[in-house]
Structure 1
């Protein structure tokens, strides 16, 4: 729920800086298409064995979508502000940086942007699926403009390619697949991959999980939902959207082995869906992890850093 826990709106990046392992975060402000004022947490990293002395070959932009409560009847996990998540995200990025020191022929400029949806942390407004989609699109547009500003003076031949990773946790995974399926990628960017952390197939499926009793009304109200977040459907749309491109976006599914909220069957369905629509997909279950524990545990952070390292090493050097 927006504003929960009670101090969520007053959280500051600096309150958690000492646990971010030297990763420096900053706050940026953007506006959604309807004018809603939103907050982003941003960090930049130079990766690769020659990162400090050589211009980047590739630019990577990781757009992170947090878990939230979607309605008063459907709370999946712990909805809160972005700053408390920064230490675990920073730890994963530090693992990535250490891995990058082993790269022989790749230098990457990596920017991570964590979106605070409307109604959360210092962002204005109230969350709806339509609003969340506008927020995600605004963050993507901001990243596109950042890349243009950073490399606009360079020639097309010398400009690093711009690759986007959409990373969503739980409900955030639905926001990520919505963005990939429904939004047009800016002309100066390409969708590289999606990280779906403890995802579910759709809000309808979660209603049936949370309210299995057939006599309860909630599971039967899905036709009237304003929020669907249907990743199962979105994956087919994404596959069709990119089937004629030079490469399909890769999907990485990160499961919590002891997930107390989302049944394993739902992530299995997403995995099978990727196979059916011919999207490249891998998955990893984090042993001992509950729904919100995957990035708290070293195995989860390691899995994400390995996947990102793989994608960055696989990326084409020029657009």
Structure 2
């Protein structure tokens, strides 16, 4: 193989090929090397190969993967905003939740009877109620004199399933109340089935369920006026919510303006959270994720923290009884304490109870949880009766002072 002279430096000599007969050939390639192509040369008897790399070829793969990641990121953010109602409200979990009936769970209710009723919401949507009644103080251990105190418990469920599977646990609360109540009390529990849940019509949303809540309270007030036309003891109205139901409880207590409604005496908040914005931060604590920053696009706020201040401004200040799960896997452990401290700041009577070992949906299932909720309701009834007695004593004094 001959080394090319300087006059043919622009030529490139390829690798030597060996033929089948054993001869070696070296056929020079006569194309000129350019800056954007492969360059060949010789130095000290060895070939030198130089190759320039294009910047676009290097950056294209990471740019493609980064673009796909950002596209998926934006897609999920858009889906979270557009379908937030479907994410928050799960009336189809389990799949047969809307086809369940009261009769399927009647044997598990321990003798407590339930019935279904249907009413119209404020916008005309047809919604369902589950109703049960139980009297206390008719037998031994209770006073047989004096009128019974009518107590109405309006129950707001969590975000999944329907009312029938909850009836056995709610029946356990009623039986616990009957065992612990000493005075003459008649309990009426009314469970609201939100729109889109169970046999109620339409689709769930915070705005729509607020209308359902107001309609249910009006129905309870009308029921009281029809059943107790004669003079009776002052009624006691308790709103009891679980999980997102706590948000609807505080919404109703803060915004109800109908003077014909019964006054709200107490709120029982089972596994509550402060608001939806704080729950976004709790579910997505990583600051580099965009989901926690989507709160300006929320249509469901359920802001119990802000509602407590509005509730405290009402003439009728209800007591607040907070029952949290000790091992709640969804709601951060400090939310109950934050709500309790807010009640103290706005001068609302409040109690905070923790059910040890209970998960988010276990409070009412556990024996200690049943006892805690029943005790909170009984305490709310006793407090309302004491306040009513104090007001009855103050009225004659005010009348005398005016004369």
TM-score normalised over the length of structure 2: 0.71
Cα deviation digits, residues 107-151 of structure 1 (max 9, x gap): 112100110000011101101110010010111011011001101
Q: Which runs of 5 or more structure 2 residues have no equivalent in the other structure?
A: 1-89, 393-403
Contact preservation (8 Å) 2:276, 2:301: yes
> 2:354 and 2:258 mapped to 1: Cα distance?
30
**Does residue 133 of the first structure (1) align with residue 222 of the second (2)?**
no
| Residues 1:55 and 1:38: Cα distance change in structure 2 (over 3 Å) | farther
> 1:35 and 1:55 mapped to 2: Cα distance?
40
Q: Which of 23, 26, 29 is equivalent to 2:118?
A: 29
Structure (1 or 2) with the larger CA radius of gyration: 2
Please name the residue that 1:74 is paired with: none
**Does residue 313 of the first structure (1) align with residue 382 of the second (2)?**
yes
User: How far 1:90 moved relative to its partner?
Assistant: 0.7
Cα deviation digits, residues 278-312 of structure 1 (max 9, x gap): 10111111111000000000111101111222222
> 2:320 and 2:258 mapped to 1: Cα distance?
17
Cα deviation digits, residues 82-102 of structure 1 (max 9, x gap): 0101111111110110112xx
Q: Which of 252, 256, 264 is equivalent to 1:191?
A: 264
Contact preservation (8 Å) 1:133, 1:175: yes
TM-score normalised over the length of structure 1: 0.89
**Other structure's SS at 2:264 match:** strand
Q: Which of 56, 59, 63 is equivalent to 2:150?
A: 59
- The alignment yields a C-alpha RMSD, in angstroms, of 1.7
**Does residue 20 of the first structure (1) align with residue 109 of the second (2)?**
yes
User: How far 1:218 moved relative to its partner?
Assistant: 1.9
> 1:22 and 1:56 mapped to 2: Cα distance?
25
> 1:280 and 1:82 mapped to 2: Cα distance?
30
Structure richer in helix, relative to its length: 2
Please name the residue that 2:70 is paired with: none
Count of residues in correspondence between the two structures: 297
Please name the residue that 2:179 is paired with: 98
Please name the residue that 1:73 is paired with: none
Cα deviation digits, residues 258-282 of structure 1 (max 9, x gap): 0000011111110110011110111
Which fold has the larger relative contact order, with Cα–Cα distance below 8 Å and residues 6 or more apart in sequence? 1
Q: Which runs of 5 or more structure 1 residues have no equivalent in the other structure?
A: 69-78
Contact preservation (8 Å) 1:185, 1:191: no
Q: Which residues in structure 2 correspond to 1:219-234 (within 5 Å)?
A: 219-234=292-307
**Does residue 148 of the first structure (1) align with residue 204 of the second (2)?**
no
> 2:166 and 2:324 mapped to 1: Cα distance?
18
> 1:141 and 1:126 mapped to 2: Cα distance?
22
> 2:94 and 2:152 mapped to 1: Cα distance?
29
> 2:221 and 2:293 mapped to 1: Cα distance?
41
Cα deviation digits, residues 163-202 of structure 1 (max 9, x gap): 2101000100000000000112543622110000000000
> 1:185 and 1:111 mapped to 2: Cα distance?
21
**Does residue 169 of the first structure (1) align with residue 260 of the second (2)?**
no
Please name the residue that 1:293 is paired with: 362
Please name the residue that 2:161 is paired with: 80
Q: Which of 314, 331, 341 is equivalent to 1:262?
A: 331
> 1:128 and 1:56 mapped to 2: Cα distance?
41
